[in-house]
Amino acid sequence: MGHGNYSHAAHTAIIADRASASRAEVFTQRGCHALMNPHGMGMREARDSTDHPDSLGIVFALDVTGSMGDIPEILATRELPTFMNLLTTCKVKDPQLMFMAIGDASSDRASLQVGQFESTAELMDQWLTWTYLEGGGGGSGEESYELAFYVAAQHTDMDCWVKRRKKGYLFLTGDELPYPAVSRHQIGTLIGDKLDQDIPIEEVIAAAAESYHVFFLIPDLKRRRNCESRWRELLGDHVICMEDPADACAIAAAIVALTEKSVPDLRTLAGTLAVSGIQARRVSSIVRALRSYAALLDPTTASQIHAYRGMPALAATWWKRLFG
């Protein structure tokens, strides 16, 4: 999958057409869409083509349990064009985007939904809005995030990795703990794969991380106390604590740009976000959320945070206000 060209104008028009629509009007599924049912799913492919010779696979695995439905809605009604526009502005080549939806395999009817990698606005939007926002979840404080790692590791095939040894990106959104292992019984029921035994969460993350840069995005600072400690044990500074769930697209795009070195540092990133029309308040919160990860990529970032001299006057003003 992944043929065709992306049009920001077309994507913006799609979003504008549903500006006043309710969540139920945007997400009309009342069960798992047949084409997102993972049973017997085979491989999800992100391939090079004439249009996209340097394809880059990017997966959004969205928690769609009761407390997390805001992020899919924000993507579908406001922010997904922001993600693609920022990648274009940052000169990230040929992104191909796939959506997954994650619930709780111990209690939900549709705990795993899997789309396809796409390059066009219409098809990205299609898979996103075909997602069933079940709004379930269990009462144990855990959700089935491990399923996203398993699908990424075992059921995706990306030319960026196979041909160029360039990793794709896997972004999970969530506010709960992961289960300690992939259940062989759940994998058999949901996908049809036959496993000899359960797979510890550490092992399935390691398998996904062979071909993906893996990140867990916590929607806001209040909910970080529910899960941050455990996720940092698993992913370190690839855990991103956002200040607002609306920042998910911009933060994900910024992570790709920083990791791909198409944006060299936070200072340049901040200017790029501002030029892209993102409000100064949001630029500030995005930069704060990314400080630890940026420092992981470049240890000199900590000192650069204070180096606002030489920046354009307006950018320098809010940068100084934010970091002193």
CA dihedral 147, 66, 95, 167 (to 10 degrees): -30
Distance from C-alpha of 113 to C-alpha of 108, rounded to nearest angstrom: 12
127 and 275 inside one domain: no
64 and 106 inside one domain: yes
246 and 170 inside one domain: yes
Asked whether residue 302 is domain-assigned, the answer is yes
Structure tokens at 162: 């196979």
150 and 182 inside one domain: yes
81 close to 12: Cβ distance less than 8 angstroms: yes
The residue out of 228, 243, 263 marking a domain boundary is 263
CA 47 to chain centre: 19
Average of per-residue pLDDT values in the chain: 91
3-class DSSP state of 118? strand
Confidence at residue 306, expressed as pLDDT on a 0 to 100 scale = 45
Buried (b) or exposed (e) across 252-279, using 16+ Cβ within 10 A?
bbbbbbbbbebbebbbbbbbbbbebebe
47 and 175 inside one domain: yes
Q: Which residues contact residue 259 at a Cβ distance below 8 angstroms, ignoring those fewer than 6 apart?
A: 169, 213, 297
The full DSSP string for 81-111 is: HHHHHHHHHTT---EEEEEEEE--TTT-S-S
84 has pLDDT over 60: yes
Confidence at residue 91, expressed as pLDDT on a 0 to 100 scale = 94
Asked whether residue 229 is domain-assigned, the answer is yes
259 and 301 inside one domain: no
135 and 283 inside one domain: no
Distance from C-alpha of 166 to C-alpha of 293, rounded to nearest angstrom: 19
Buried (b) or exposed (e) across 171-196, using 16+ Cβ within 10 A?
bbbbbbbbbebbbeebbeebbebebe
250 and 321 inside one domain: no
195 and 291 inside one domain: no
**Domain CATH number, residue 101:** 3.40.50.410
Confidence at residue 299, expressed as pLDDT on a 0 to 100 scale = 82
Confidence of residue 303 (pLDDT cuts 50, 70, 90): low
Q: Which residues contact residue 16 at a Cβ distance below 8 angstroms, ignoring those fewer than 6 apart?
A: none
Number of domains in the chain: 2
The residue out of 263, 285, 306 marking a domain boundary is 263
Residue in 241, 244, 256 with CA at minimum distance from that of residue 291:
241
Confidence at residue 222, expressed as pLDDT on a 0 to 100 scale = 94
316 has pLDDT over 60: no
Distance from C-alpha of 102 to C-alpha of 65, rounded to nearest angstrom: 8
171 and 194 inside one domain: yes
Distance from C-alpha of 172 to C-alpha of 209, rounded to nearest angstrom: 13
The residue out of 214, 238, 263 marking a domain boundary is 263
284 and 231 inside one domain: no
Confidence at residue 283, expressed as pLDDT on a 0 to 100 scale = 96
Asked whether residue 3 is domain-assigned, the answer is no
1 has pLDDT over 90: no
- Looking at residue 119, its amino acid is S
Asked whether residue 83 is domain-assigned, the answer is yes
Confidence at residue 139, expressed as pLDDT on a 0 to 100 scale = 76
Residue in 265, 323, 252 with CA at minimum distance from that of residue 298:
265
Its sign, for the CA torsion 36, 38, 41, 44, is: positive
- In the sheet that holds 239-241, the strands lie side by side as 112-114, 95-102, 56-63, 168-173, 212-218, 239-241
Give the residue numbers spanning the domain of 274.
264-324
**Interval 214-250: pLDDT, tens:** 999 999 999 999 899 999 999 999 999 999 999 999 9
294 and 214 inside one domain: no
308 has pLDDT over 50: no
Distance from C-alpha of 135 to C-alpha of 65, rounded to nearest angstrom: 4
Q: How does strand 112-114 pair with strand 95-102?
A: antiparallel
Asked whether residue 122 is domain-assigned, the answer is yes
Structure tokens at 307: 């180096």
Count CA atoms closer than 13 A to 267's CA, side-chain side: 19
